[in-house]
Amino acid sequence: MSAHHDAPHEAAHDVVEEIVPMMPIVLPIAGAVLMFLLAFIAVTMA
């Protein structure tokens, strides 16, 4: 039974390990998209 519980934990750990190296690329892109959307909303409302 313990092997059944270890599999999801290992899978979640592997997903985190895959995402962490991409953070320096993903975060600035996400910030730029967010700023563009907020500016677009502000210009549209003005």
At 16-34, the pLDDT tens digits run 888 899 999 999 999 999 9
Domain that holds residue 37: 22-46
Burial of 7-17, coded b for 16+ CB within 10 Å and e otherwise, reads: eeeeeeeeeee
In a domain, 7, yes or no: no
Domains held by the chain: number: 1
pLDDT reported for residue 26: 93
pTM greater than 0.75 (yes/no): no
| Structure tokens that stand for 11 in this block | 């899978």
> Is residue 42 assigned to a domain?
yes
